[in-house]
Amino acid sequence: MTLTTRPGEPGLVVESWISNSTDFLAVIAQLYGARAGADVRLYPTGLEEQTERNKTLISYRAVVGALDARPNGGVFSQECITWFAVGNRMYGSVGVDEIAFEVGRQGVVSVVPRVLRTALRKL
């Protein structure tokens, strides 16, 4: 997973996400009906958890926007999927949009997409 920021824009931007040879940005775009692709951003939730390994898990939510969204659709337009997408997809009692950062003394150790039940170690 490659994360970046863009000046003047909110959140951490998921620039790419490949896990076990699967392009998860493409999967997310299909899951949310974003025909031209998905703009996925991570926003902090303010929730933290101490782990048994003396690390901290800092929780974020992934907010999905469609790259082909039309801005003139109005507040309840189906083109603005971000209004309807946060927390609405679950798998095994875990939100598909739940992401955590495992942080140790030296900073971020891994990114944890909770629905995958794995940790993506920092390279």
Tell me the pLDDT of the chain averaged across its residues.
82
Q: Which of 51, 23, 43, 17 is nearest to 120 (CA)?
A: 17
In this predicted structure, the answer to whether residue 117 has a pLDDT above a threshold of 80 is: yes
Q: Where are the domains of the chain?
A: 2-121
Encode pLDDT of 38-95 as tens digits. Answer: 888 999 999 999 988 889 999 999 888 766 655 555 555 555 555 556 666 667 788 8
Residue 46 is predicted with a pLDDT of 93
Of the two residues 19 and 56, the one the predictor is more confident about is 56
Instruction: Note the pTM of the prediction, 2 decimals.
Output: 0.77
Residue 37: exposed, middle, or buried by beta-carbon count in 10 A (0-12, 13-18, 19+)?
middle
In this predicted structure, the answer to whether residue 20 has a pLDDT above a threshold of 90 is: no
Residue pointed to by tokens 């490949």: 18
